[in-house]
Amino acid sequence: MGLAEAGSQAGEMQAVADFIMTTNPITPEAAQQRDAFILRWEDIGWFDKSFPSQETYDEIMNRNNQFWIANHPAAERQIAVNVVKNNPTSPRQTSGGLFPTDERLEDIERPDIDVLEEQIEDAKPLFEIPVWFKTGVIVAVLGGAALGIAKIVTGLNPMALAARFAAKKGV
């Protein structure tokens, strides 16, 4: 297993953990499954969460399927079992929680790009401070700090020193 595959599996495992920990169990069996999952998740070390072995990954995915099936009332349980059997575990499963198939993905309403761009433009600040002004402020602050330090270190007035230096140079 390469690093890219391990990272993908780690992401899927984290998504499963987030899904199970944030989903309210409907049935008592699902509550037991969730509690068992949380105990197991806490026992898994950071290395195995970041670079999971195939056994750890399979266990987490199996616990996800068990929780998902147990979280359905008895009348809907066979439908849930069929969905789990017919849809292999994938990132789409864990991110959506409900195992969408490719046909159902086409039905999802996508946001309009133009609307998103308008929202981004609306979020921009009302005005921007020019770079030359920012640079001038930084130079003034640093220059003032340098003069203050010179006064403290030498005990002299830095402006008087600057005037004497300019007088010597003939400026």
pLDDT of res. 5: 55
pLDDT of res. 80: 72
What angle do helix axes 158-169 and 131-154 make, rounded to 10 degrees? 100
Structure tokens at 27: 């049935």
d(CA 20, CA 67): 8
For the chain, 171 residues long, give each residue's pLDDT as a single digit of tens: 444 455 688 888 899 899 898 888 888 998 999 999 999 999 998 888 888 888 888 888 888 888 888 888 877 777 777 777 666 554 444 444 444 444 444 555 555 666 666 666 666 666 778 889 989 999 999 988 887 787 777 766 767 777 777 888 765
Residues near 12 by Cβ (< 8 Å), separated by ≥ 6? 57, 61, 89, 90, 91, 94
51-90 in b/e form (b: 16+ CB < 10 A) is: ebeeebbebbbebbbbbbbbbbeeeeeeebeebbeeeebe
pLDDT of res. 70: 85
pLDDT of res. 170: 67
pLDDT of res. 76: 76
pLDDT of res. 104: 46
